[in-house]
Structure 1
């Protein structure tokens, strides 16, 4: 849970940070989340009681930890360097879900003096459960980057790692191998487990404090050294400033359209699709943010999910208590007009 909270908190608000700050935050989050996955698995395995002697190969165990960190890093890069569409959220959940399974079975391969035997039912249930639960965790945590969603995503992520581990162990049996004279590690399992847990808590706490100090953008300091002379009044514009360009994501980069060249904006979950130059593009703005940023003289709200540029409306159809704007756009031939917006839209269109 603490590893999940650390990783998801460090990646909050990365779109407003510099490239170097993004890389630092993603690296720390991957180490926190991946290390949390591995440490939960390893400590649980140290608590495993078998009627035979066994211990773990240090090299294989270390490799399993690196695998967990790597797959989480790939998923975070996908989430923060590409438009966060439903497909991307699902893909990130599947990557981490399969990574947890790979880390688990690789760690099991490090068992010495005994060999695990897996059942097909246990394998299938573990793989499906891991992918579904991690998809849900990312969907919740990244569907809306609020504190509540991060807490709920933390619970879902921690539960996913915990449940998948014990489902996989439930479908596993063990047989003894090796000679009686083989010797395991000198450190006791209880001491090793406590050491791993404490080290993970210390690292996560350090990452959270580091994130606050170095990752969060610094607030501008008030300029007290050179105050504005009293005899020179500061001119303040009473007119609101509206965005002249609308951003859209394509090929991993942010591009811009002139606001007047955009025909319509449609809500898509917490994001929007914009229609311009005969195509549809993904925009990170929500429909509420788009309405707040754009000049109402250029865009008219026809429905809670639509903003329309009247210059691109080809015809208007009046229904009983609502209406339809016909746009003739690929993928958006018409736009609904709600009853609450009908009068305002008709005034803008002059009908």
Structure 2
């Protein structure tokens, strides 16, 4: 086996790259569930590229600091495949947590996908070495995989438990450490042997060319980090650069914006916020037929539309006056004025909404059946 060592300047630089990429990717998707589906897809894709490219950059920054007694090169195609593999794994993980209802189980699955993707990228990248053959130990491979999955799941559980600034920063530390630790745990279980020159003549990627590519990559990631950091700090301080309330243009009347809702007089009752096209709008509670829990958020049913509301179901229940709204089920708040009919089913029931195509019916749980019937005048 060949003796080898690491340059600690490159070791520290690789750790910095891992942290920069982790923060940039995780903070970019903060609030993405409130965006339109098209914007959400673009944002999640960009985050996947940042995280995947960051993992690749961290690996090859560390490899630039690897000192061996013989020269070695990298196969350009294998090197590219390793980068694309990391991006695909990150994309799959982000799709799992950002599309559909987010649950703790889905977060664990996404973290596991990331935990598998990091060592897969590492070993694909290592297989691209020319003139030097890496030899792996079972303990090194298993240890790297176990550590990667454990730290990745932990970082995702923290970052996606609540999408607060504190959670994102803590998740960044976990993710960055996962990428960094996996590389060096894997390297500790790797030996190197001289390899004969390949029969096929393939233009090699020298360490100089790799250094040039990694430097450009690090520069781009740092720029993204600065931009994300600036917007992250603005959100943290409440957007101090936003125009004063008096300087803002008035919000358009909601009735003209929501399909399926006829124009009406300006709302006089309490209003409920909802997110659309990267803006917060407000709707009169009287226009809403029902509110359904969706993880930490809720969905408003209005005519033919489903609107994303940043309130939780508990917050909605506390904020909306109970004069006509009531909880019919653990996941539903119902506007009794919009109920067109009621059906009794053994020990539970169903409320129907003929004038709300987006919500044909809502279940009534057994524990709330008597109260709902009484409020409906039955």
TM range (shorter): 0.5 to 0.7
Q: Does 1:198 align with 2:219?
A: yes
**TM-score with structure 1 setting the length:** 0.66
Question: Which of 279, 289, 310 is the aligned partner of 2:315?
Answer: 289
Change beyond 3 A, Cα 1:239–1:257: closer
Cα 1:55–1:299, aligned 2, differ >3 Å: closer, same or farther? same
1:156 maps to what in 2?
174
1:143 to 161, 168, 187: 161
How many pairs were matched up? 276
Q: Which moved more, 1:165-174 or 1:177-186?
A: 177-186
Q: Determine which of 231, 238, 249 is the counterpart of 1:222.
A: 249
Alignment of 1:191-340 (within 5 A): 193-205=214-226, 221-222=248-249, 237=268, 242=285, 243-247=288-292, 286-297=312-323, 298-299=325-326
After superposition, the Cα gap between the structure-2 partners of 1:238 and 1:180, relative to the gap in structure 1 and judged at 3 Å, is closer
**Once the 2 structures are TM-superposed, how far is the Cα of residue 102 of structure 1 from its aligned partner?**
0.8
1:97-108 matched pairs, under 5 angstroms: 97-108=115-126
| Alignment match, 1:15 | 33
Equivalent in the alignment of 1:123: 141
Cα offsets for 1:100-145 (capped at 9, x unmatched): 1110000000011111111111111111111111111111111101
* Distance of aligned partners of 1:237 and 1:203 in 2 relative to their CA distance in 1, 3 Å threshold: closer
Question: Over aligned residue pairs, what C-alpha RMSD do you find?
Answer: 4.2
Does the CA contact (< 8 Å) of 1:108 and 1:116 recur in 2? yes
Aligned match of 1:187: 208
Deviations 1:206-250 (A, max 9, x none): 6778999xxxxx9995159xxxxxxxxx97725565453123569
Native 8 Å contact 2:75 2:205 kept in 1: no
C-alpha contact (below 8 Å) 1:36/1:200 kept by paired residues: yes
Unaligned runs of 5+ in 1: 213-217, 225-233, 259-282, 312-326, 336-347
Normalising by structure 2, report the TM-score: 0.61
Matched, 1:56 2:101: no
Secondary structure at 1:187 match in 2: helix
* Aligned residue among 28, 31, 38 for 2:46: 28
Deviation, 1:192, is 5.4
The alignment partner of 2:208 has SS state of coil
Equivalent pair of 1:83/1:284 in contact (CA under 8 Å): no
SS at match of 2:193: strand
CA contact (8 A) 2:135 2:192 kept: yes
Q: 1:210 to 1:19 in 2, by over 3 A?
A: farther
Q: CA deviation at 1:200?
A: 2.9
